[in-house]
A = this chain, B = another copy of it.
Amino acid sequence: MNVIVEKPSQSGKLTAKDWLKMAEFELSKSGISAVRVEPLAKKLKVTKGSFYWHFSSRKELFEKLLTDWRIRSTNAIIERLNNANLTPKERLKELFLLPQKNLNHANGGALELAIRNWSQSDTTVKKTIKEIDTHRLAFISDNFEALGYDKCQAELKASCFYYTMQGFKVVGIDQSNEHLEQIFEILL
Protein backbone atom coordinates (compact mmCIF):
# COMPACT_ATOMS: atom_id res chain seq x y z
CA MET A 1 0.00 0.00 0.00
CA ASN A 2 2.33 2.69 1.21
CA VAL A 3 5.71 1.12 0.72
CA ILE A 4 7.15 4.30 -0.65
CA VAL A 5 6.70 6.37 2.43
CA GLU A 6 7.47 3.61 4.83
CA LYS A 7 11.00 4.12 6.06
CA PRO A 8 12.20 7.49 7.31
CA SER A 9 15.67 8.73 6.46
CA GLN A 10 17.54 5.61 7.53
CA SER A 11 18.99 6.89 10.78
CA GLY A 12 16.81 7.10 13.82
CA LYS A 13 16.44 10.83 13.57
CA LEU A 14 13.74 12.36 11.46
CA THR A 15 14.04 15.38 9.23
CA ALA A 16 11.46 17.94 8.21
CA LYS A 17 11.47 16.21 4.84
CA ASP A 18 10.29 12.97 6.41
CA TRP A 19 7.36 14.79 7.91
CA LEU A 20 6.60 16.49 4.62
CA LYS A 21 6.66 13.20 2.76
CA MET A 22 4.25 11.60 5.13
CA ALA A 23 2.05 14.67 5.14
CA GLU A 24 1.99 14.57 1.35
CA PHE A 25 0.98 10.96 1.41
CA GLU A 26 -1.84 11.70 3.79
CA LEU A 27 -2.88 14.71 1.75
CA SER A 28 -3.10 12.61 -1.40
CA LYS A 29 -5.08 9.98 0.35
CA SER A 30 -7.49 11.84 2.56
CA GLY A 31 -7.32 15.55 1.81
CA ILE A 32 -5.86 18.48 3.65
CA SER A 33 -8.27 18.28 6.58
CA ALA A 34 -6.92 14.86 7.37
CA VAL A 35 -3.34 16.06 7.59
CA ARG A 36 -3.04 16.14 11.36
CA VAL A 37 0.07 16.14 13.41
CA GLU A 38 -0.66 13.43 15.95
CA PRO A 39 -1.76 10.85 13.38
CA LEU A 40 1.31 11.70 11.33
CA ALA A 41 3.47 11.23 14.39
CA LYS A 42 1.90 7.83 14.97
CA LYS A 43 2.72 6.76 11.42
CA LEU A 44 6.28 7.94 11.85
CA LYS A 45 6.48 6.13 15.16
CA VAL A 46 7.30 9.21 17.17
CA THR A 47 5.29 11.68 19.20
CA LYS A 48 4.28 15.20 18.34
CA GLY A 49 7.15 16.47 20.43
CA SER A 50 9.22 15.71 17.37
CA PHE A 51 6.90 17.55 15.05
CA TYR A 52 7.03 20.78 16.98
CA TRP A 53 10.79 20.62 16.86
CA HIS A 54 10.79 20.69 13.05
CA PHE A 55 7.74 22.91 12.56
CA SER A 56 6.28 25.76 14.51
CA SER A 57 2.72 24.76 13.80
CA ARG A 58 0.39 22.77 11.57
CA LYS A 59 -0.07 25.92 9.55
CA GLU A 60 3.62 26.01 8.74
CA LEU A 61 3.51 22.41 7.60
CA PHE A 62 0.72 23.33 5.21
CA GLU A 63 2.69 26.24 3.81
CA LYS A 64 5.77 24.13 3.22
CA LEU A 65 3.62 21.44 1.71
CA LEU A 66 2.36 23.91 -0.83
CA THR A 67 5.65 25.59 -1.68
CA ASP A 68 7.38 22.23 -1.95
CA TRP A 69 4.83 21.00 -4.42
CA ARG A 70 4.93 24.22 -6.34
CA ILE A 71 8.67 24.02 -6.82
CA ARG A 72 8.57 20.41 -7.88
CA SER A 73 5.64 20.97 -10.21
CA THR A 74 7.24 23.80 -12.05
CA ASN A 75 10.66 22.20 -12.10
CA ALA A 76 9.29 18.94 -13.40
CA ILE A 77 8.20 20.81 -16.47
CA ILE A 78 11.21 23.06 -16.79
CA GLU A 79 13.62 20.18 -16.72
CA ARG A 80 11.92 18.87 -19.82
CA LEU A 81 12.42 22.25 -21.35
CA ASN A 82 16.10 22.06 -20.59
CA ASN A 83 16.36 18.92 -22.63
CA ALA A 84 17.02 21.08 -25.62
CA ASN A 85 18.05 18.10 -27.67
CA LEU A 86 14.43 17.13 -28.07
CA THR A 87 12.12 18.15 -30.85
CA PRO A 88 8.94 20.00 -29.87
CA LYS A 89 6.92 16.91 -30.62
CA GLU A 90 9.16 14.76 -28.45
CA ARG A 91 8.92 17.29 -25.68
CA LEU A 92 5.15 17.27 -25.80
CA LYS A 93 5.08 13.51 -25.84
CA GLU A 94 7.37 13.28 -22.84
CA LEU A 95 5.15 15.70 -21.01
CA PHE A 96 2.01 13.88 -22.00
CA LEU A 97 3.24 10.52 -20.83
CA LEU A 98 4.73 11.91 -17.65
CA PRO A 99 1.83 11.11 -15.36
CA GLN A 100 2.00 7.56 -16.63
CA LYS A 101 5.53 6.88 -15.44
CA ASN A 102 4.99 8.83 -12.27
CA LEU A 103 8.48 9.93 -11.40
CA ASN A 104 7.13 11.78 -8.41
CA HIS A 105 6.76 10.04 -5.12
CA ALA A 106 3.67 8.01 -4.58
CA ASN A 107 1.12 9.24 -7.06
CA GLY A 108 1.49 12.64 -8.61
CA GLY A 109 -2.04 12.51 -9.94
CA ALA A 110 -3.66 11.89 -6.61
CA LEU A 111 -1.56 14.57 -4.98
CA GLU A 112 -2.46 17.22 -7.49
CA LEU A 113 -6.08 16.20 -7.21
CA ALA A 114 -5.95 16.69 -3.46
CA ILE A 115 -4.29 20.06 -3.84
CA ARG A 116 -6.92 21.20 -6.30
CA ASN A 117 -9.55 20.20 -3.77
CA TRP A 118 -7.60 22.03 -1.10
CA SER A 119 -7.66 25.15 -3.26
CA GLN A 120 -11.42 25.29 -2.83
CA SER A 121 -10.98 26.40 0.74
CA ASP A 122 -7.73 28.34 0.57
CA THR A 123 -7.18 31.32 -1.65
CA THR A 124 -3.39 31.05 -1.48
CA VAL A 125 -3.55 27.53 -2.82
CA LYS A 126 -5.97 28.63 -5.48
CA LYS A 127 -3.58 31.33 -6.57
CA THR A 128 -0.70 28.87 -6.76
CA ILE A 129 -2.73 26.44 -8.82
CA LYS A 130 -3.69 29.13 -11.24
CA GLU A 131 -0.08 30.20 -11.69
CA ILE A 132 1.06 26.67 -12.30
CA ASP A 133 -1.70 25.98 -14.79
CA THR A 134 -0.89 29.16 -16.64
CA HIS A 135 2.78 28.32 -16.65
CA ARG A 136 2.23 24.85 -18.03
CA LEU A 137 -0.19 26.09 -20.64
CA ALA A 138 2.37 28.63 -21.81
CA PHE A 139 5.00 25.95 -22.13
CA ILE A 140 2.73 23.71 -24.14
CA SER A 141 1.59 26.55 -26.32
CA ASP A 142 5.19 27.47 -27.09
CA ASN A 143 5.86 23.99 -28.31
CA PHE A 144 2.84 24.02 -30.54
CA GLU A 145 4.07 27.26 -31.98
CA ALA A 146 7.42 25.62 -32.60
CA LEU A 147 5.48 22.99 -34.44
CA GLY A 148 4.26 25.56 -36.90
CA TYR A 149 0.92 26.72 -35.53
CA ASP A 150 0.24 30.41 -35.22
CA LYS A 151 -0.17 31.84 -31.76
CA CYS A 152 -3.93 31.64 -31.74
CA GLN A 153 -4.10 28.07 -32.97
CA ALA A 154 -1.31 27.06 -30.66
CA GLU A 155 -3.14 28.34 -27.61
CA LEU A 156 -6.22 26.43 -28.60
CA LYS A 157 -4.26 23.26 -29.18
CA ALA A 158 -2.47 23.76 -25.91
CA SER A 159 -5.70 24.12 -23.97
CA CYS A 160 -7.05 20.95 -25.45
CA PHE A 161 -3.77 19.16 -24.83
CA TYR A 162 -3.50 20.27 -21.23
CA TYR A 163 -7.11 19.58 -20.38
CA THR A 164 -6.75 16.09 -21.74
CA MET A 165 -3.60 15.54 -19.72
CA GLN A 166 -5.27 16.71 -16.57
CA GLY A 167 -8.41 14.79 -17.28
CA PHE A 168 -6.42 11.63 -17.67
CA LYS A 169 -4.50 12.32 -14.50
CA VAL A 170 -7.78 12.64 -12.65
CA VAL A 171 -9.92 9.99 -14.28
CA GLY A 172 -7.25 7.47 -15.03
CA ILE A 173 -5.53 7.51 -11.67
CA ASP A 174 -6.04 3.85 -11.10
CA GLN A 175 -6.29 2.56 -14.61
CA SER A 176 -3.45 2.12 -17.04
CA ASN A 177 -4.51 3.27 -20.43
CA GLU A 178 -2.63 1.51 -23.14
CA HIS A 179 -3.79 3.70 -25.99
CA LEU A 180 -2.52 6.89 -24.39
CA GLU A 181 -0.06 7.28 -27.23
CA GLN A 182 -2.86 7.16 -29.75
CA ILE A 183 -4.67 9.89 -27.87
CA PHE A 184 -1.49 11.91 -28.00
CA GLU A 185 -1.42 11.66 -31.76
CA ILE A 186 -4.98 12.91 -31.97
CA LEU A 187 -4.07 16.03 -30.07
CA LEU A 188 -1.28 17.21 -32.35
Contacts and interface: CB of A to CB of B under 8 A. Distances in A.
A177 interface: yes
A85 interface: no
A156 interface: yes
Q: Chain A: interface secondary structure?
A: helix
Given A28-B120, A129-B172, A157-B186, 4 more contacts: A113-B117, A114-B120, A116-B173, A163-B165
A117 B119 contact: no
20 contacts: A28-B120, A29-B120, A30-B120, A30-B121, A31-B32, A31-B118, A33-B33, A113-B170, A114-B117, A117-B117, A119-B172, A120-B173, A130-B172, A133-B173, A156-B179, A159-B175, A159-B183, A160-B187, A163-B171, A164-B167
A124 interface: no
A134 interface: yes
Interface residues of A, number: 45
> Quick one: copies of this chain in the complex?
2
Given A160-B187, A170-B166, A113 B110 contact: no
A164 to B, nearest CB: 4
A125 to B, nearest CB: 11
Nearest to A165: B167
B183 A156 contact: yes
B171 A183 contact: no
B170 A116 contact: yes
A28 B120 CA distance: 7
A34 interface: yes
Contacts of A137: 173
